[in-house]
Every structure is written in C-alpha cells, then in structure tokens.
Chain A
Amino acid sequence: MSLLSTLARLEAIRSGRAEPLATVRHRHLSDRPMVVVPLAAAGEAGAPLAVLLGTDRAAPRLHLVPQPLNRTQRFDFLARFAAELLPYLESFGAEVEQIEASEKDPETGEKTQVFRELCADAPQLIVPNPGSIRHLALLGRSTRFRRTAEDADPGPYPAPTRVPLLGRWLTHLTERSQVPGSSLLLPMTGLLARHWATGQSHLEDQHLAAQLAWHSPPPGLTGAEAAELAETERDAHGQLTHPPAGPATDPRFDELVLAGAITRHDAALVALQHLTTAGQPAAGLTTADRPAERQRAELLVKLASEQLHAALESVLLPTWRDVWHGLDLLRTLPPAAHLAERWESDRWSYTGHRDRLAAGEPPQPKQDDAVTAARKLAQREREQVRVDVQEALDDPLVMAERRLAGEAFTGVVTEVTPAYDTSGRSPKPRPLVTVRTEDRPHADPGREAHRANGLAAQKAVIVGADPAEGTITVQVTSGMGRKKEPEPGSLPEPGDRITFTLFELTPRQSAPLPDPDDTPWTHGGPPGSADHSPTAAEEWE
C-alpha cells in the first residue's frame, strides 16, 4: 500500500466517507454489461446453488439447483445458466472490423499483407467479488471436459449439449481476469477499492455492502457505523438484511431457511415420483382418485419450488442492487485516456476465443504445459507494467504516488539551453532543460528520464540536480525530429509545467520461448500426449 492510499484511508476514517483514490475511471465499463451474482452450496467445493444474472437491472433472472447434491439437477441448472449466458457472450461475435497486419511467410520469409478479424465490441461480466470469480472458474473446470449426447462416446452421464461450451467460456473469462488491467470479467469490490479508499481494512472491503456503506452512509451515521450495520444487522427472523455477496451464504440462512426449503422440496418430489412409479394408490383411496392425488402432489412440488425461489431471491437481490449501484458510482468518473487501448486487448482476447471455438479446437487443458505457463506469466508481467504506467499517465493522483516514491517529478521549466552532440557526422540537438520542482526524485546523474504525456515519446538523461535550489537539469536526447534544430513544439518552453518519469513508459517486449514441442530437457521435454492422471469412477448421486 502506498503512502498516499494510506493517507486516503486515514482521511476516510476522519471524514466518515469513502475518499477518492483516482480522478478518472481506470477500467473499461461496457454499455451493456451482464451482472452475474452466483451462490455456492455449503459442504461441497464448487457446488453451484443459484445464480442471479441479467443485463437489465429491472429484470434479473434467477436459476437454482433445488437439491445441490443432485448431479442431474446440477446439470439442468448449468444448462439453464448456459442458455442465459451464452447468447449474451456470442452476441458480440458477429460484428467485426478488419485489422491490417503483415505476416512473415514461414518458407520464403517474405512479408505479406493479411487482414485479421477483430470483434467490434466484447462482452463484460460484472460479479460482486473475487470469490465469485473463483467460483465461476471452478464451474468452468468441472464442466468443460463433460461429454454430451452429441459425442461419439457420450459415457454414462452425458451433460446437456451447451454445458461444456459454458465451461470453456467461463474458463476463458476467469483466466483473462488474471491479466492485470483486463476488463472482460471484473469484481465490483475490486473496482470500487481501486477508485475509492474506505476507512476499513482490505479484508473488510471484500464485503460489497460494507464497502458501499462508506459511499452513502445513512443520515446520522459515519461510514464505519454504516459498514458495521451492513455486516451485522438482522431482521425479526434472525436473517441478515445485507446478506454476504457470495458465493458462500450466511450459515444462519442455510440453517433456518434454506435447509427447510430444500427438505420440503425433496419430500414433495419424492411423493410425486412415488405416485408416478408405484402401482398401488394410497390407503383409503381408489384408483379413481389417482389424477386428483397427482395434481395435489404436483402442486406441492410447485409450492416448494416457489418457496425455494423466494428464499434465494431474497438473499440475492440486495447484492444485485449493490452491484448496479456500484456501476452507477463508477460511471460518474470520466473514462481514463488509455482505456480504449486496453479494451482492444480484451477484444482480441474475446475474438481469439471465438475463433478457437469456431475452429473446433479442444477445451483448454487441465493444466498449462511449461511453455504456456511461462508465456502467460510473461504476458501478465508485461500487462502489469503497462497498466501501472498508463494509470500514472492518465491520472495525476496516481502520478502523485509515483512522485512521492521518487520515481517521477513534476515542475515548471525555468530554462531551456540549446546544446549539440557533435561527435557524429552532423550535429544533433541535445538541449538542456532545467525544471524547478518540489519533488525529491532518486535523480542520480546519468539516469534516464522519460517525458510524460508529451506529443511523442521523448527521452532525456539527468545531468544534474540541485536539492537546495529545487532544480533538476536533464539533457533531452530524442523526440526532436531528425534535423539539426529541434522541431518546433517538440521541446518544452520556460513556464511549461511538465512531468518526467524515471520509469520507462512502454513495457519491454518479452523474450521468445520455445514451441511446446521443443520443451527442453531441463523442463521435462515435450509434454506427453498421454494423460497420466488416474481416472476415478464418478460418484453421481
């Protein structure tokens, strides 16, 4: 945690309200995001219980598993989840733009012009918290390898047709969410915490309702009091008024509401099945009573199911409203300048996955091989550098953190002295720029500096610093055109307020890695095609 964000937290404690950490919005927000609030069942890792989702805040759609341990019901639920989610995800695949690129012919080495499709927009899922992302990742892992009735060998328990596809999309989206700065799948608690500081710990910020309480505490309450109320307030039935945003539910809800509703639903279902399969009518009734008895049993199932729906909706709706409220708050911030550039990476990621599905490629493997893991790590490190730099360039508050850490300085130009490098054939401009600043950067002579938010990339070398005077002198070495004199406008002028960073403004390219088939002996050689993991018999019911 930087000194500035610690200060913002202290200020939030004093003011009793969330304090801004950013002046612009640092993550892309879609015009048509899909909000997904998943719940997991207690007792079994990754067992889905329910999901509330939709793109219309007035019309959330609820799907649930009436008996979370029943595999058939679980896959029915996943099929309904897929039927809701997949059309949304696929709806962005049709509209594309053509991007021109040059590709090297592997045989002749000649460069040829090619066009690649890039989807014009991409889907965006918003979930309440990082725990929801982990839950979706588990769902993806447990469904993407399922066989369906359409497979050549469907196996004993074929899944509904679209469920493996759901698993592949969930896997792709949750993997992508690991890339710093990506926006295909975002947790609301993280989004809010990036832009505002509350006066509570990071752990407490994981509770969406508690974090939001700092933004709009009820009259007469401080943020801390409102947050505590959000975490602990219970109604007359002993139920939380702000249930946790999932994926886990409140144990008191499980015990007092959910368990009873599930049991009643199970019992009603058993009674109905008994009627359908058993030959003899119940005691005291004749076969003529059959249809009436059946109708009654069906009604009981329907009633039990409605009770379950109502119970789960009551714990999901507060979170649903909180997520949309969070989106409202974030939309009050103007978008940062580099958002479009980073969103384009997300669009490439989406397009790539769309193409892999269309090409009939197999699902993502259980585990990355050595080369893929190294490649992903390199990508994430590169993107971390990119997002750190871009946030600093887009937002003076973020740059202030870097300045405070001695990694950048901002000041007013006091003097620009022309100078030349005459060592080459023709003299090159190497002007000296002196900046008066109150910052205390680690400006050792010889260190490279980069001009922030200039028209073009411009590098300079620190030639001197006078801490007593508060001045730093740099020699500009690039970004002045090719002529003997610097291009007009390429240099700052006395009186200009400028920022130099001591960190590079573009991430370094990652070094090439071998093809997975050329994995060296130090890393176990090429990954074997055989799957060595023991295949356990599946426990279904």
Chain B
Amino acid sequence: MTTEPDPADPAAAADATVAEILTAVSRPSPGAPRGVVVDSPPGAGKSTLVVKAARELVGQGERLMIVAQTNSQVDDLVDRLAGKGPDLTVGRLHASDSRPAAEALRHSNVTASAKVADLLEHDVVISTAAKWQWVKAEAPWRHAIVDEAYQMRSDALLAVARLFERALFVGDPGQLDPFTVVGTDQWAGLSYDPSSSAVVTLLAHNPAIRPHRLPVSWRLPHSAAPLISAAFYPYTPFRSGTGPDERRLTATVRPDGSAVDAAIDEAAEHGWALLELPARHAVRTDPQAVAAVAATVDRLLRRGLTAHSEHGSQPLTPARIAVGTAHRDQAAAVRAALTALGVPVDPAAGPAVTVDTANRLQGREYDVTVVLHPLSGRPDATAFHLETGRLCVLASRHRHACIVVARAGIAELLDDHPSTEPVSLGVTVKFPDGWEANHAVLAHLAGHRVRL
C-alpha cells in the first residue's frame, strides 16, 4: 500500500527549489557558471518562476532582457509580468510587420515598439529569439532569461548570446525538439550542432552547470502526473501538487447513452478516456475520427460540466477546452467540423475552443483536452509521429481530464515499426524514445477504453 503525500509537502519542496534557483540567479557565488538551467515538467510553475526571477533581478536594480520563442509566448509573458508586477516597466519589442496581442498591451506599464532604442530605459524588455537576433548590441544587458529554452535552436542562441553576460534558461526537456527541414547529418555529434536544442549546446560547453529541477506539477491532476512522469521523465520523476480527490468534474446533464458520453464520464471519473474507433487506414484528415473529436467537444459543452479544483468551482466553458492534433490540416478539419456543430472556434469572436497542433499548444493549459492520436489510422509510424515530445505535449495540457480519440490497432502499428533512426557518435540517445513512451501511454489508456 502506498501512502499519499502530505498535501503541504509538495508546496514546501517546490518553494525550497524555487528559493535555491532565485539565489543562484540573483546572488551567484563567486566563480559560479554564467548560466542557470531549470528543467520543468509540464505545469510546474515555470512561468511563475520567470516572473519571480524577473522581479528579483529588477529589485536589485538590474535591467533585464527576456527571450521567448514565439509571439504568443511573448504576449503571454508580457501579460503575466505586467499584471503581477505593476511597478515594473515592460518593453515589448516586436517585428515591424506584426502587432502584439491586445492582452499584452492592455497594461499601462507596457510599451510596445519595433525599435529597441525606444525601450532601453525599461526594466524588462521581452521579445522572440528571432527578433532579438537583429538587435544591435550597443548596450548589452547583464542579465537575460531564456524561456522555453529547450524549444530554442542552438543557432538562435549563438546569435543572441552576445547580448547578455549571465542567463537563466527555463524549459521543459520533455517537449518537442526544435527541427529543420534540411539535412544536418554533417553536424550530428558536434557539441554545437546548430539544429540541436540551445540547452544541449550550453550544457556541453559549460559542464559546471548542474540543471535545477522543479519537482511538482501544479497543472496535472493526480490521475495524470504519475503516468506522464513515468512515461516521459523516467529519470527525473515529479508529482502532482494536488491529491486524488481535489480535482473533480461533475455533469448536470445525464449521459445520453452514446459512446461519446460514456467516454466523457470515464474521463470525468478517472482523468483519462480512450474513445476508440474501429481499426482502419485513413487519410490524415480521417473524417470519422474528426467527427468523433467534434462530437466529444460538443457533448462536453452540452453536459453542463463543472470543474472543481483548489481554485474553486467553475463551469467548463469553450475557452477551457483544447483540441490537440499532430498536423495543421487535421486542426483545420476539426475546426470546420466544430463550426458546423455551432461550437465557437474563432478566438477573435469571443471565448472559443482552442484547436491547434502540438507545436502551438506547448506552454498552454486547459481544463479538458481532446486529443486526436498522432498514430490514429496511419499505415506507418514515422519519426515525426513517434516523437516523444509530440505525445508528451498532447497528453499534458489538462488540469482535469484528457480524452484521446484514436483508431484501434496503434499497438500493432508500433510493433510493426520499431525505431530505426540512425545512431550518431557523440549524440546522447534520448530515452525513453517515442516508441517506448507511446506504448506506456497506450497501456494506461487501455484501462479507460470506450469503443465507438
């Protein structure tokens, strides 16, 4: 029999780690390495840490630059930073042909500009790695924070590293690796392979840096943390910040007897459900699977669900639901199917269900997610579809429940396609590989299967 951890315990452990990191960043001991690396499992308070570290450094009179990877990540961070620190002045550096999101600009302490010269007086300047690369270094910053550093490519870090002396790198090693569409075999095994992740290069050249690890996932419910930890982070386990009964989903509308409703009830009770379609090879935008995803989202909204958590009880609204797919055309097909059912999917027109690919869901959080399994209906299992990070992102966006929609036969498909990626000298073999992780998740989902 296992003993449940004391609810007060995870918070204390997390606080101790955060305090340690903040000390390393703001008061480094003499001779300490110039970089601090923090590995964070899904929902472990990475963004909160970034905000805390930024306030700490600014409190010491430092000017700070923050590098994120996508415009939406930058806008999220600006919104958070400006909201949590009304005393901070925040500069949002953006490309001349794009405008920052409205949430980022609603704060009075945020200034947006396409020219860095307009923002030099601000406490914090935030932009994407792509934009920072063009900034001329006349007045380099002493401190930088690199957010989602595992998503950043080594060559992008090479181009921006001249802008700062010390840096805090924060990211999730389990998410999607950066990629390129051209061949890079020639650099495989080099410590500075330009197509590898920025953190991999940084650690190879600065062996004195010992990554810190955030030990508690505040997002993942008690039903998900052990599976995600064991399947994707076997050597760096983490636990959930909440106990077994702290997150609940309740429905006011009785199930209509359909498989979709049965899957919703299974997910509400156990945190996971696998809605399984009959085995069949299908085109990427498999119409039946897309229809099943859309029907699930539609029923989620019609069942009058309420999410009970440590933050209180809130109705499950469209904005708290996400659909994750592997490909953009699948996302487009799901959006079209949802629109046909009258479910809002356009965020510009009000609260809407988010439908996007794994790449774009990185760093986001929802109450319930519906995932179209990357291997559903496929005749083959390519490296793209097997990538560990893709499945990890899709299976770790939810606070309450995750419903996976897939065709039967994925386990057999995996067994027919063992990993055959070439092994290069000097390249650390990623473990677990996607094959292993996919099997682990499937084995767990098999216990929550509902056949359509």
Interface residues of A (CB under 8 A from B): 178, 180, 367-371, 373-374, 377-378, 380-381, 384, 405-406, 442, 511-514, 518-525
CB distance from A534 to the nearest CB of B (A): 15
Partner of B194, one of A367, A370, A512: A370
Instruction: Count residues of B near A (Cβ-Cβ below 8 Å).
Output: 34
What 6 A-B pairs come out closest when comparing CB atoms?
A511-B133, A520-B161, A374-B155, A370-B192, A524-B205, A374-B194
CB distance from A484 to the nearest CB of B (A): 24
Q: Which chain A residue has the least Cβ–Cβ distance from B132?
A: A511
| Whole-angstrom CA separation of A518 from B140 in the bound complex | 15
Q: Do B133 and A523 have beta carbons less than 8 Å apart? A: no
Q: Which chain B residue has the least Cβ–Cβ distance from A371?
A: B158
| Whole-angstrom CA separation of A525 from B34 in the bound complex | 13
Partner of A381, one of B130, B180, B201: B180
Q: Do B329 and A522 have beta carbons less than 8 Å apart? A: no
Q: Do B158 and A513 have beta carbons less than 8 Å apart? A: yes
Kindly list chain B residues whose C-beta atoms are within 8 Å of the C-beta of A381: 180-182
Stretch from B113-121, B183-191, B309-317, B357-365 contacting the other chain = B183-191
B280 close to A (CB within 8 Å): no
Q: Which chain A residue has the least Cβ–Cβ distance from B191?
A: A524
B68 close to A (CB within 8 Å): no
B326 close to A (CB within 8 Å): no
Kindly list chain B residues whose C-beta atoms are within 8 Å of the C-beta of A378: 155
Known contacts A371-B158, A512-B133, A514-B159: A522-B35 contact under CB 8 Å = yes
Q: Do A520 and B195 have beta carbons less than 8 Å apart? A: no
Q: Do B161 and A522 have beta carbons less than 8 Å apart? A: yes
B157 close to A (CB within 8 Å): yes
Q: Do B194 and A377 have beta carbons less than 8 Å apart? A: yes
| Whole-angstrom CA separation of A201 from B183 in the bound complex | 21
CB distance from B377 to the nearest CB of A (A): 15
13 more A-B contacts (CB under 8 A) besides A384-B181, A521-B206, A523-B205? A178-B186, A180-B182, A373-B190, A373-B192, A381-B182, A512-B133, A514-B159, A520-B158, A522-B206, A523-B154, A523-B157, A523-B161, A523-B192
28 cross-chain CB contacts under 8 A: A180-B182, A368-B186, A369-B192, A370-B192, A373-B192, A374-B159, A377-B195, A378-B155, A380-B183, A381-B182, A406-B332, A442-B332, A511-B130, A511-B133, A511-B134, A511-B159, A512-B133, A512-B134, A520-B162, A521-B161, A521-B206, A522-B35, A522-B161, A522-B205, A522-B206, A523-B157, A524-B191, A524-B205
| Whole-angstrom CA separation of A523 from B133 in the bound complex | 16
Q: Which chain A residue has the least Cβ–Cβ distance from B199?
A: A522
Kindly list chain B residues whose C-beta atoms are within 8 Å of the C-beta of A373: 155, 187, 190, 192-194
* Complex interface residues of chain B between 25 and 61 (CB less than 8 A to chain A): 34-35
| Whole-angstrom CA separation of A369 from B187 in the bound complex | 10
Q: Do B180 and A521 have beta carbons less than 8 Å apart? A: no
Kindly list chain A residues whose C-beta atoms are within 8 Å of the C-beta of B190: 367-368, 373
Q: Do B329 and A518 have beta carbons less than 8 Å apart? A: no
Q: Do A521 and B34 have beta carbons less than 8 Å apart? A: yes
| Whole-angstrom CA separation of A5 from B205 in the bound complex | 44
Q: Which chain B residue has the least Cβ–Cβ distance from A446?
A: B348
Contact with A along B161-202 (1 / 0, CB 8 A): 110000000000000000011111011001111110010011
| Whole-angstrom CA separation of A519 from B158 in the bound complex | 7
| Whole-angstrom CA separation of A307 from B390 in the bound complex | 59
| Whole-angstrom CA separation of A524 from B202 in the bound complex | 8
| Whole-angstrom CA separation of A377 from B212 in the bound complex | 31
Q: Do A377 and B201 have beta carbons less than 8 Å apart? A: no
